[in-house]
Amino acid sequence: MNASAYELLASLARYWFIALALFIAVRLVVAVLREMRIEWRVQREISEAGTGINATLVLLSDEDGRLRRGKLYPVEGETTVGAAPRCDVRISSRSLRGVHCILAMEREGLRVVPVGEAFVVVDGEVVERRALAHDGSTIQLGGLVFRLRLEEENAL
Amino acid sequence: MKRNARAVLCAMLALFAALGGYFFYAVYNNGSRWFTTPYNTRLRQARGSVIAGDILDRNGTVLVTSAADGSREYPTSRETRKALSHVLGDVQGQVPTGAESFLAADLLGFNASLSDRVSQLFAEKRRGSDVILTIDADLQTYIAQQFPEDHNGAVAVLNYKTGEVLALYSKPEYDAKHPENFAGADDESGVLLNRATQGRYAPGSVFKIVTLACALENIPGVQERTFKCEGVYPVTEEMDLIDTEGEGHGELTLEEAFAKSCNIAFGQLALELGEDKLRATAERMGFNGNFLFEDLIVYESIFPQTMKDEGELAWTGVGQGNLMAVPMHMALIAGAVGNGGTMVEPQLVLAVRGASGGESSRLNPRAALQCMRQDVAATIEAYMIETVENGTGTRAAVEGHTIAGKTGTAQVNSSGGKYSPHAWFVGYCAEEDFPYAIAVVVENGGSGGSTAARLAGKVLSRAIKNAQ
Amino acid sequence: MRSKDLKMPETDWVLLAMALFEATGFLLLAFFRGFDIVPMILAVSMPLLLAAQALLLRRAYPHMDGYILLIANFLCGVGLIALYRLDPDRALKQLLFYGLGVLVMLAMTFLVARGTLLRRLRLPVMLLSLGALLLTLLIGEENGGAKNWIDLKIISVQPSEFVKVALVLCLALDLSEKRTVRQLLPVGLFAAGCVLLIVLQKDLGAVLICFLTCLTVYYVATSNWLLALFGLACAAAGSAVLYRLFDHVRTRVAIWQNPWDSPQGSGYQIIQSLIAIASGGLTGLGLGLGSPDVVPVAESDFIFSAICEEFGIVVGLVLLLLYVILFARGLLLAMRARSSFHALLSVGAVTSLALQTFMIVGGVIKMVPLTGVTLPFVSYGGSSMLSSMLMLGILQGVSIAVGQQDESEWRLARAREEAQEF
């Protein structure tokens, strides 16, 4: 093939490349946007239906006695508990650290992970790294004592 | 955490939007300049394998063509060749915005259409496209003949309705056929500089067009005012405003002050308007702005960003001080007055003719700037016509035609009287059929009313004759 | 809604277009410079490789992100075309690394999707990274002002590329569970050590990427924007110090500000890059018709301008869009993730890749000072290819984990709803 024939081919091919590239771009953008909608719908449905289990912390006692007994703190997914405003569950108590612990719903129960040297007791045992709490467990965070309530959501 | 991830997503999108936007903007704005730099080896390589196209003027005269071995030939007379030197430029790109390098993409066939490529499928050596310029070679040669000997300078002529550039003359010239004579010429001599588009001169009184426009737009009833000129007007303790006449014009209306180019009256107007308003008007007319047009680049004219004192402001109002103007830009401003306030984009390429013969027009008239209100333009036009009929510009008159104009005599340096001033004339033919605007600068040519105006008159009359 | 709706919408047409693009590119190259059989083979095998991955992997692991997979492989393909046009030998080497990269990606995917093994690998990975960086400092080779290569006789390795991956992994592991200063000390020290060692190597592009990735991951994990801002300020101060300290940083910035000062000297690279892009224009000069080899190191740092010259700015912009889609998918994944570990992993991987892309593309178009980093998936370079593929593996692993979780929870929700309807 001589040089000018290749030149013609190559200069023709560039339009083909551009057409393909534009096609790829448009199709991908459309597909990704549609995908995003689907994913969000799934997420919404899941969160509307719930994970099946509602976790709630019920306050049993407070060292300072400033907080009302029986107050409810719902736990959703992965939740940080502490005194700092950026926590998902904020409890203003002097016995809590800024971020005191992380709670996460898992299949077997509620995972409790203390942050740093935070004082956490689950069912009478001081937690060093992580612990699993179940329905009816007592959880002590600093000077606050809670009872964990796990309920099947939409139970018949 | 979800919120933070969303923030990262937004930041990423913004970053890449900026990247894409900048990318497109940079290439759109500077692409052709990047391409035509002398450092582009592609052009050098292409010159080896492609026969560059011809360059023709608007009447079909071949200005440059390629010999069989690919070298460039100039079929015109020596005189025409030299007159066109800066328009055509050179293959090496020493004259940065000459057609040979600035339009290289067309000449070397980088923009060739598909049919051109097909038609040359089996050619031994490819041929680039021919470029037809808007330049009138005859007019340009005439300008070179009429330009005062022993003086450097520049002339720009354009059609102020379509933007076609008819002539773009810069002196000193060089002879493209004998590059050895000017190759490596130092910057001092400025042989390679196209003064019409890149030369910066103090505008002198031609700047009064801008001051006048500013006054008409900002001071109600200024037309009915009278000014008293006694030749000298003290502005600050060190600085007096002096009129060229020295003795003063006496009582003047605004129109007379413009026609007689009275410094006192315009200095006072500048003081009254103030620096900011004057700058705003000047910038609306394109001062301090880059003119990166598609076919040519006009360097920016400069209106100073800060001023020392009232004295400088007064002198700026009459076109001195630290003002700098490019001849082509002043021609565009004059043309804008004739075009009802709209400045057109100058165009240098009329059409491109592919190797297979198909000609496609490149002329694309469009507005570059909206300089002034239509009624202001009409008033300035009347004043400029008066200037040519009864004022300082009488020598620019063309028998049987209405010419509007303004002269300028720009002091080169205030301290020594060693150099005589630059002579300026800008103006246009105020007729539908001959919409030609012109700017003339004769370096050290003395009074603008004599040398520059006379040359402008001759050139305009020739341009009108050529159009008939 | 049935469970089918959980799967990707059809991307077959996109796959076809990508395959055609690659096939045409290699076919053209087969006739470039006389007939050559190797690109002919590639013209068939590359699209097949692409299709195999897209179809088989997606069938086997329905929760892999098909878009990310397609885009990354397509980018590799385009890179190979551009490389083959520049230098066939290097392209074949790169092909090897591409194949290796796919395997490495799969390994990383499973590592991340399973998760448990990763926790145990944390310490070895940290030590290995620091060791490799130290070794580079001792016996490394200098290349363009930066001492970031180790020559291992058969191949040369650029450890800083892999350290990026290690950083992303360790940051995500530690930041997902620990919050106090003392708990974060090890990973903090590790990150600081990496950054410092890379600074000593004078590999400033990698420094910026690592540092900003750490900051972003830290911010996302803790929402502590005050400290993140403080980090940014530190970065600014640090760059000022580096600017004073290192000569070649000053030159780079000076070149960026005005390359036209010395068009034949220090500004040569960037000017040639700009000229190449401008020569291509919107539609490009055509594959093989430009002269991208004029730009120094066109095959790695400046591959984007080489592509723009011959394929045109339109294709260049489309490639940028593909990168954006890839990164956006990664971040959307992070938003869907249940556990912070997965979210942080994908944020880290995306940030690192995105910064790298931005810095090199911005560099070759003179938007930001040029830092010698590679364009992920496209540029020539084994280390770069493998590390990009590892990042891709991280994203795919997260995608699988998140997808499985989504599906099981969604099934549960459906079952619950149906039970209620009874």
Residues of C in contact with B39 (CB under 8 A): 263-264, 271-272, 275
Cβ within 8 Å, pair C320-B110: no
Question: What is the torsional sign of CA A87, A90, A91, A93?
Answer: positive
Instruction: Dump the DSSP string for C359-421.
Output: HHHHHHTTSS-----PPTTTSS-HHHHHHHHHHHHHHHHHHHHHHHHHHHHHHHHHHHHHHHH
Out of B114, B121, B126, whose CB is closest to A5?
A: B121
**Cα–Cα distance for residue pair B437/C349, rounded to 1 Å:** 62
- Cβ within 8 Å of residue B87, ≥6 positions away: B98, B99, B133, B135, B140, B168, B194, B348
Residue A101: pLDDT above 70? yes
Torsion angles phi and psi, residue A139, rounded to 5: -125, 125
Is residue C21 within 8 Å of residue C45, measured between CB atoms?
no
Which segment of A14-18, A129-133, B47-51 scores lowest on mean pLDDT? B47-51
Q: How far apart are CA B105 and CA B103, in angstroms?
A: 5
Query: For residue A156, is pLDDT > 50?
Result: no
- Chain A positions touching B121 (Cβ under 8 A) are 4-5, 8
Same domain (yes/no): A65, A109: yes
Residue B102 near residue B38, CB atoms below 8 Å: no
A44 and A71 inside one domain: no
Provide the pLDDT for residue C235: 84
Could you count the other beta carbons within 10 Å of the beta carbon of residue B251? 10
In the three-class reduction of DSSP (H, G, I as helix; E, B as strand; rest coil), residue C335 is classed as helix
Rounded Cα distance, C384 and C156, in Å: 12
Query: Could you give the CA distance from residue C44 to residue C50 in angstroms, rounded to a whole number?
Result: 10
Q: Which residues of B touch A (CB under 8 A)?
A: 1, 114, 117-118, 120-123, 126
Question: Which stretches in chain B have pLDDT values below 70?
Answer: 93, 96, 114, 120-124, 179-189, 238, 244-246, 413-418
Tens of pLDDT along C180-206? 677 788 888 999 999 999 888 888 889
Query: In this structure, are A27 and A11 located in the same domain?
Result: yes
Q: Which domain holds residue C367?
A: 3-417
Could you tell me if C184 and C178 are in contact, meaning their C-beta atoms sit under 8 angstroms apart?
yes
**Alpha carbons B1 and B153: distance in angstroms, whole number:** 69
Torsion B333-B336-B342-B345 (CA) sign = negative
CA distance C125 to A4: 55
Among the listed residues B404, B405, B407, B460, the one whose alpha carbon sits nearest the alpha carbon of residue B434: B460
Helix (H, G, I), strand (E, B) or coil at A94: coil
Rg of chain A's alpha carbons, rounded to an integer?
27
Distances (CA, A) of B140 to B78, B85, B116, B131, B462: 13, 10, 32, 18, 10
Tell which residue, A125, A130, A152, A128, has the closest CA to residue A140: A125
Residues 6+ apart with CB under 8 A from B127: B50, B51, B53, B109, B120, B355
Please indicate, yes or no, whether residues A123 and A100 belong to a single structural domain of this protein.
yes
Contact B8 C347 (CB under 8 A): yes
Could you tell me the end-to-end alpha-carbon distance of chain A, in angstroms, rounded to an integer?
A: 78
Q: Which residues of B271-289 are buried (b: 16+ CB within 10 A; e: fewer)?
A: bebebebbbbbbebbbbeb
Pairing of strands B349-353, B359-361: antiparallel
What H or E segment, with its residue span, contains residue A48? Answer: helix A3-49
Bond preceding residue B172 cis, omega within 30 of 0: yes
Say if residue A113 is in the same domain as residue A43. Answer: no
Q: Tell me if residue A117 falls in helix, strand or coil.
A: coil
Given a contact cutoff of 8 angstroms between Cβ atoms, the answer to whether C360 and C301 are in contact is yes
pLDDT value for B415: 47
| DSSP codes of every residue in B265-332 | HHHHHHHHH-HHHHHHHHHHTTTT--EE-SS-EEPPPB--SS-SSHHHHHHHHTT-TT-BB-HHHHHH
Q: Which residues contact C305 (CB under 8 A, 6 or more apart)?
A: C273, C274, C276, C277, C292, C295, C298, C364, C365
At B262 the pLDDT is 87
Q: Are A78 and A35 members of one domain?
A: no
Note the pLDDT of residue B140. Answer: 93
Sign of CA dihedral C84, C286, C370, C170: negative
Are the C-beta atoms of C386 and C96 separated by less than 8 Å?
no
Contact A4 B114 (CB under 8 A): no
Q: Which residues of B touch A46 (CB under 8 A)?
A: none
Determine the pLDDT at residue B189.
Answer: 60
User: Looking at this protein, which amino acid is placed at residue B87?
Assistant: V
Q: Report the Cα–Cα distance between both ends of chain C, in Å, rounded.
A: 18
Examine the domain organization and report whether A135 and A87 are in the same domain.
yes
Please check whether residue C226 touches B, CB under 8 A: no
On whether both A141 and A67 belong to a single domain, the answer is: yes
Ramachandran quadrant class, B52 (left: phi over 0; alpha: psi -120 to 50; beta: rest): beta
User: Which tens digit of pLDDT belongs to each residue from B377-436?
Assistant: 999 999 999 999 988 888 998 988 999 999 998 887 654 456 788 899 999 999 989 999
Same domain, A44 and A61: no
> How many structural domains are present in chain A?
2
Q: Is residue C422 part of a domain?
A: no
Report d(CA C402, CA C332) in Å as an integer: 11
Q: Which chains touch C (3 or more CB pairs under 8 A)?
A: A, B
* Residue A51 phi, psi (nearest 5): -80, 0
Partner residue opposite C406 with nearest CB, options A31, A42, A153: A42
Interface contact C264-B39, CB threshold 8 A: yes
Q: Which is it for strands B55-56 and B130-133: parallel, antiparallel or unpaired?
A: parallel
Tell whether C342 is within 8 A of chain B (Cβ).
Answer: no
- Across the interface, of B9, B22, B24, the residue whose CB is closest to C331 is B9
When CB atoms are compared, the residue of B9, B31, B40 closest to C328 is B9
Where chain C has pLDDT below 70, the residues are: 1-10, 143-146, 153, 178-180, 416, 420-422
Tell me the C-alpha distance between B240 and B219, whole Å: 24
Please report which helix (H) or strand (E) contains residue B233, including its range: strand B232-234
Give the HSE-up count for residue B42: Cα atoms under 13 Å, Cβ half-sphere: 30
Contacts of B184 (CB under 8 A, 6+ apart): none
Query: Hey, what are A109's tokens?
Result: 């129960």
Domains, chain B: 204-349+357-467 (3.40.710.10)
C314 touches chain B (CB under 8 A): no
Say if the Cβ atoms of B12 and C327 lie within 8 Å.
Answer: yes
User: Which range of residues forms the domain containing residue A7?
Assistant: 1-49
Residue C178 is predicted with a pLDDT of 67
- Please report where in the chains the tokens 């590592």 appear, as a residue: C111
Assess whether A62 and A135 both reside in one domain. yes
Mutate to test the interface with A, among C6, C8, C13, C28 (most CBs of A within 10 A): C28
Q: How many structural domains is chain C composed of? A: 1
Tokens of A45: 């449905």
Amino acid at C250: R
Give CA–CA dist B47/B41, Å, rounded. Answer: 10
How far is Cα C219 from Cα B237, in angstroms, rounded to an integer? 63
**What is the nearest CA distance from B114 to chain A, expressed in angstroms?**
8
Contacts of C220 in chain B (CB under 8 A): 1, 4-5, 8
Cβ C284–A77 below 8 Å, yes or no? Answer: no
Residues 6+ apart with CB under 8 A from B46: B104, B108, B109, B110
Bridge partner residues of B425 (DSSP) = B407, B440
CA angle in degrees (0–180, nearest 5) for B288-B347-B299 = 25
